[in-house]
Structure 1
Amino acid sequence: MIINRLKLKNFRGFEELSVEFHPDFNVVIGINRSGKTSLLEGLRIGLGSFFLGIDEQEVRSPLIRDNDIHFVTYEHSREFQFPVCIECEGIVDGKHVHWLRERHGKKKGTTFKDARSISGIAKYLQFRVRLGEESDMPVLAYYATNRLWQESKKSGISETKLGRGYYNGFEATSNNAFFLKWFQEKERTAIQRKKEAFELDVIKKAVSQCVSGCETIFFDFDEKVQTIVLRNINGKEFPFNFLSDGERNLLAMVADIAFRCVTLNPHLGKKSISMSPGIVLIDELDLHLHPSWQKTIVSNLKKTFPQIQFITTTHSPFIIQELDDGELIKLDGEISEYTDQSLEDIAENVQGVENPQWSMKRKKMYEAAKEYYQTLEKMNKDTASKELERLRNRLDELSKPFAKNLAYHAFLEQKRLVRESEIKKT
């Protein structure tokens, strides 16, 4: 399953937007409020149309909500704009498909009649699964920025593979409690049978490939622990709650994707993570990650889940630096060259950061020094006494940032004394 194009109309901050996607990996960039998260939300609703064909109680198709409606503000009113349209083109189960979700008024719901092309395929795939046939089901999941903290209130495990595999897939809440309970039961069964299920082996492999320094994970049944434990390559063990936010976030996300792969496509066996198709949305891929992990996360996800199309957002130049041609989407301007570029060049030319080599403190000091010299030049024998006093006060202000740099502060003061002396002589 691949999405090739998304068109949004009157959706959130977008009056109109059209985006084409790379079939493998996509990273969306832009300044804050440029619409990165809104784009993912539009995709979530569009791709969630697949769930219209899955009649499991746990699986629901996202709707266009009131706060998704674009509005125009006038002097004394706010007018909502209709219709709200989410239009998608892609490939589902080997077929080129076009579908549409709309909303035509505040009191009207989200349409589904123009999404039958994709929901019909989902319905057919579900029919085949229930007949016991082997069908490659697409993995569909969305990981929002609050994915580590906002836990779903439901933790019951569905009896069907589609119910488990698509449970909470396009919700913004975390799936951790649901996965933890499943993992615990699988580990207990493996201990009793003295043989590890292939599902556990696949998930552990995915985590070890994506989480730097991880050898494996396992469930610790000690009554004082009762959680997943990470064992690193040095043999040290860390309960899930003892890990850093970045480690927990990445481990939970990768394990969840792998869990969906093995659950939806058990017929693929140990190849389920490498052969399962699907689309995964991740808001702020760099969330809580150390820069060294940011440099490897893209290649690790590609290697671990090669048949899944990823659409992510980021502010990290480290992540941009790791992309191939065609994998970067910029919402607020043209894309400059980013492959094989330095971090400084990416920050300046791609992300629009001025003088990325300088800290803001250094930049302010440079501007202050520049104005200091310009102010000195304005002081001469023809300068009125009041203006001369104002310039002297300004020099006092400009020299403050350099107070801790004694050598340069003394240099500025010397320049000022020389100038004052020249004025007195004339």
Structure 2
Amino acid sequence: MILKKLQLTNFRCFKELSVELHPRLNVFVGNNGKGKTAILDGIAVGLGAVLTHLPEIKGINFRSNDRWQDEKMKQAPYVRVMLETTAGIRWDRTEKRDQSKQTQQEIPQDKKLGELHQFLEETINGIQADLPTKLPVLVYYGTDRASRSSLSNSVPRDFKKTFNRFKALEDAIKPSSRVDFMLERFAFQEDIERREKENREDLGYR
């Protein structure tokens, strides 16, 4: 999954923004407070729909302060993020300011998530059937990604014994590290290696 286009409407500092993305590399340069992080967070919100549709995974959603505000602090009637991939898959996420009919009338027609879900259904079914299937690669490295804030005070001894492929994307677009999950994964792999050594009666096996 390679993103081709991002469109933000009433998202934070942007009343309207459309960005054509390069398939290999994109670099955003600007002064502080000009919206570089808003662009990345907008992409993360859009990709949150991908994670939310996968089994046992929850993606991020809009926050209350994501809606654009005018000089009088009045919020826009809605906020929307639209993403399009190089394969032509297009979807958007929209959140209304409130549930009133007047607000609803101010919101243009949305694309919704149909095309995205159709693409993901094929991926989900392939993985559940244990077929060779590619998962989208999604990751958001924030400025505090290297912090150890997610590491528990005491290292748990009851590590998880099973992992599915979908879990690899859990919290992938949250700009923070997942040290506990990494430790559990390492312990899981070491346990597999230990059992294989015992079965082979070969302590040098790796």
Q: What percentage of residue pairs aligned between the two structures are identical? A: 26
Indicate if the aligned counterparts of 1:157 and 1:164 stay in contact, CA closer than 8 A: no
* Displacement after TM superposition at 1:81 (Å): 0.9
* Displacement after TM superposition at 1:180 (Å): 2.0
Instruction: State how far apart, in whole Å, the 1-side matches of 2:7 and 2:28 are.
Output: 15
For residues 29 and 6 of structure 1, do their structure 2 counterparts lie closer, same or farther at Cα, with a shift above 3 Å needed? same
2:95 aligned residue (97, 103, 112):
103
Equivalent in the alignment of 2:144: 146
Instruction: State how far apart, in whole Å, the 2-side matches of 1:80 and 1:113 are.
Output: 22
TM-score after normalising by structure 2? 0.79
- List 4+ stretches of structure 1 deviating above 3 A: 150-160
2:112 aligned residue (111, 114, 118):
114
Instruction: State how far apart, in whole Å, the 1-side matches of 2:20 and 2:184 are.
Output: 38
Residue type of the partner of 1:25?
L
Instruction: State how far apart, in whole Å, the 1-side matches of 2:53 and 2:163 are.
Output: 15
2:175 aligned residue (169, 172, 176):
172
* Displacement after TM superposition at 1:191 (Å): 5.0
* Displacement after TM superposition at 1:188 (Å): 4.7
Residue type of the partner of 1:83?
Y
Structure 2: stretches of 5+ with no match in the other structure:
101-109, 198-203
Q: How does 1:190-269 map to 2 (within 5 A)?
A: 190=193, 193=197, 194-196=204-206
* Displacement after TM superposition at 1:113 (Å): 7.4
Residue type of the partner of 2:96?
H
For residues 72 and 90 of structure 1, do their structure 2 counterparts lie closer, same or farther at Cα, with a shift above 3 Å needed? same
Aligned CA RMSD, in angstroms, stands at 2.5
Indicate if the aligned counterparts of 1:2 and 1:90 stay in contact, CA closer than 8 A: yes
Equivalent in the alignment of 2:75: 80
Equivalent in the alignment of 1:162: 165
Residue type of the partner of 1:195?
Y
Equivalent in the alignment of 2:122: 124
Q: Secondary structure at the match of 1:16?
A: strand
Instruction: State how far apart, in whole Å, the 2-side matches of 1:64 and 1:101 are.
Output: 9
TM-score after normalising by structure 1? 0.40
Q: Which has the higher helix share?
A: 1
Equivalent in the alignment of 2:34: 34
Instruction: State how far apart, in whole Å, the 2-side matches of 1:61 and 1:158 are.
Output: 24
Indicate if the aligned counterparts of 2:91 and 2:116 stay in contact, CA closer than 8 A: yes
Instruction: State how far apart, in whole Å, the 1-side matches of 2:17 and 2:161 are.
Output: 38
Higher RCO (C-alpha under 8 Å, 6+ residues apart): 2
Number of residues of Structure 1 aligned to a counterpart in Structure 2: 185
Q: Secondary structure at the match of 1:184?
A: helix
